[in-house]
């Protein structure tokens, strides 16, 4: 957040700390071969890069209901996949970014 979006180091630490306090420790799960193949199919269907589609396919693999990310591209992707999108960065901070302004 600091380098890419020029967020103040202190503010970035506050946001990450807030996220870690609000949510349980992440659970790490293995990605299955079929899930990787599914990500490539999704990439073609959604006309989106396979890297992001890996997250969508993994969410489906694990029957997740929500994807939590600071990547605003996921808002529309999640909608298309029937997943809830949650961004832990406060709207006040997101509004500073050009990519977010398209969602306002």
- What would the pLDDT profile of 1-35 be if each residue is shown by its tens digit? 677 677 788 888 888 888 888 877 777 799 999 99
The reported pLDDT for the residue numbered 83 is 97
In this prediction, residue 27 carries a pLDDT of 75
Between CA 77 and CA 95 the distance in angstroms is 20
Residue 67 CB neighbour total at 10 angstroms: 21
Name the band, by pLDDT with cuts 50, 70 and 90, for residue 60: very high
Chain-centroid distance, C-alpha 39:
15
Domain boundaries, the chain: 30-101
The percent helix, strand, coil of the chain (3-state, each to 5) is 60, 5, 35
Q: What's the CA gap between 59 and 67, in Å, rounded?
A: 7
Q: What is the DSSP letter of 62?
A: T
């Amino acid at each position: 957040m600091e380098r890419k979006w020029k967020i103040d180091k202190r503010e970035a630490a506050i946001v990450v700390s807030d996220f870690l306090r609000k949510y349980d420790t992440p659970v790490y799960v293995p990605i299955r071969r079929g899930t990787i193949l599914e990500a490539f199919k999704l990439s073609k269907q959604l006309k989106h890069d396979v890297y992001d589609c890996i997250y969508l396919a993994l969410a489906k693999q694990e029957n997740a209901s929500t994807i939590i990310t600071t990547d605003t591209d996921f808002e529309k992707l999640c909608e298309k996949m029937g997943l809830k999108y949650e961004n832990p960065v406060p709207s006040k901070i997101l509004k500073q970014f050009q990519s977010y302004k398209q969602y306002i």
